[in-house]
Amino acid sequence: MAVRAGDYEILEPIATGAMGAVYRAARLDTREEVALKRLLEERNVRRFEIEARLLSSLEHPRVVGVKEHFEHGGDLWLVMELVDGPSLYDLLGERGDPGLPVDEAVEYARQMCEALAYVHAQYVVHRDVKPDNAILGSDGVVLVDFGVAREYEQGGTEGTAVIGTPGFMAPEVLGGVVSPRVDVFGVAATLWTLIAGEPPRYGEDAMLPVEPYLAAALRAGLELDPNRRTGSVEAFATAIGTRVTPARGVSLANSLDEPGVPRTLLEAILRAAVGVFEAAAASLALLDGATGELVYEASWGAAGEILGMRLPPGMGVAGVVAATGEGVAVPDCRSDERFATDWSARTGYVPSTMLTVPLRRGQRTLGVLQVLDRRDGRGYGPGDVERAAAFADLALMGVEVEVTGRETVVP
């Protein structure tokens, strides 16, 4: 008898771990095969939706695609692309003697760094980097299993649960700290394993019989103290004698092709807002002086369809903020009568929580900055409005410095 989960038929198990189980499955209508992960970690549905939606926006040839997410039978499920090929763990078991040739292992590590450099640029940390989660596809390594990924702030954040695999998990995760250096440890431990045939032991002084530069790179990547560890996967790739190919993935920051404000500046503002307010998305709209409409000129996250859209005067939370000049925090968008649900649904992104503040020059409102979906699942509150208003003031100062004298840009 077929076992089903939502719109999918489970065909066979692929892997099982502490955080969930992964199955080969087929979509009922198209029979397209996918990797279906059932998450066992206890977390609220809102946070799962926010995180899954963010992962669905990642697009890079070395990062597995997350197609969708759903709830079924009381469980939370992620639908991912099915990457055909052995994991590096399987490859090690098949060809390890006890490890793989050093040059080959280093190239696999470089490809993993390439994937991680992209996801770190999108404010995501994998947290479970290991040979099992690196699949050797037709075009090289693909990093999979982002079901336990976690956002981070610059400087690190506190996680809600200890997630990872002993031997590959950075020690600071035990204290709940998450930063990109967690993944540096994971990829360094993976490279060690591919060369030695077994993972390193925490604090081990012995080094592998490899070239001195590679031994030093492994030692720095496996530092127990994150402050002394290699600071980024790009730096680790350089240390092992390679370099990360410039990002080929799609950035979550987008703006109009010909916006009034320089595109790079808008994207930089939104990237900063996402990091400061631990958001899954952000957008910026400027007022059209002729019509009074808000024109969305830039976004970060899954809400790319918002670009170029015009919001009539007074519509939605953004319209209210533009009209009153006062910032608003909406803890639960779906229950707030000011939230324009139908309009938001047209973009394909209906946020759970929202922070909206005006962009003001003196007494004039020039537009609005919106921060959407706190990644920890909590709602934004009044205490966030003051910080967001200060951030908006700084952002507007940056815009005015860049476009001094261009009144068509900042009305």
DSSP structure string for 228-269:
TS-S-HHHHHHHTT--PPPP-SBPSEEE-SS-SS-HHHHHHH
Q: Do 234 and 374 sit in the same domain of this protein? A: no
Q: Do 186 and 127 sit in the same domain of this protein? A: yes
Helix (H, G, I), strand (E, B) or coil at 282: strand
Q: Do 74 and 116 sit in the same domain of this protein? A: no
Q: Are 39 and 76 in contact (CB under 8 A)?
A: yes
Range of the domain at 42: 3-81
Which CATH number fits the domain that encloses residue 315? 3.30.450.40
What are the tokens at 277? 């307010």
Cα distance between residue 391 and residue 395, in whole Å: 6
Cα distance between residue 332 and residue 317, in whole Å: 12
Q: Do 298 and 389 sit in the same domain of this protein? A: yes
Q: Do 158 and 129 sit in the same domain of this protein? A: yes
DSSP 349: -
Q: Is residue 247 part of a domain?
A: no
Q: Do 217 and 288 sit in the same domain of this protein? A: no
Q: Are 102 and 177 in contact (CB under 8 A)?
A: no
Query: Following DSSP, what letter does each residue of 24-51 receive, concatenated?
Result: EEEETTT--EEEEEEE-S---HHHHHHH
Number of domains in the chain: 3
Q: Is residue 49 part of a domain?
A: yes
Q: Do 221 and 323 sit in the same domain of this protein? A: no
Q: Do 220 and 290 sit in the same domain of this protein? A: no
Residue ranges for the chain with pLDDT beneath 70 = 1, 17-20, 40-44, 147-164, 205, 247, 258-260, 302-304, 399-411
pLDDT at 15: 79
Q: Are 168 and 190 in contact (CB under 8 A)?
A: yes
- Cβ neighbours around 117 below 10 Å, total: 23
Q: Do 51 and 120 sit in the same domain of this protein? A: no
Q: Is residue 23 part of a domain?
A: yes
Active site residue 128: yes
Which CATH number fits the domain that encloses residue 60? 3.30.200.20
Plot region of 300 (φ>0 → left; ψ -120 to 50 → alpha; else → beta): beta
Q: How buried is 409 (Cβ within 10 angstroms: 0-12 exposed, 13-18 middle, 19+ buried)?
A: middle
Q: Give the residue from 239, 268, 289 where a domain finishes.
A: 239
Q: Is residue 189 part of a domain?
A: yes
Q: Is residue 411 part of a domain?
A: no
Q: Is residue 163 part of a domain?
A: yes
Residues in the chain: 411
Place of tokens 């324009």: 340
For residue 5, which of 33, 40, 37 has the smallest C-alpha distance? Answer: 37
For residue 55, which of 139, 134, 170, 144 has the smallest C-alpha distance? Answer: 144
DSSP 133: G
pLDDT at 258: 66
Determine the residue type at 237: A
Q: Do 52 and 100 sit in the same domain of this protein? A: no
At what angle are helices 102-121 and 180-196 packed, to 10 degrees? 170
Q: Is residue 407 part of a domain?
A: no
Name the active-site residue from 97, 128, 205, 225. Answer: 128
Q: Give the residue from 239, 274, 300 where a domain finishes.
A: 239
Which CATH number fits the domain that encloses residue 202? 1.10.510.10
Q: Is residue 312 part of a domain?
A: yes
Q: Give the residue from 239, 266, 300 where a domain finishes.
A: 239
Residue 251 CA, distance from chain mean position: 10
What are the tokens at 225? 């103290």
pLDDT at 50: 82
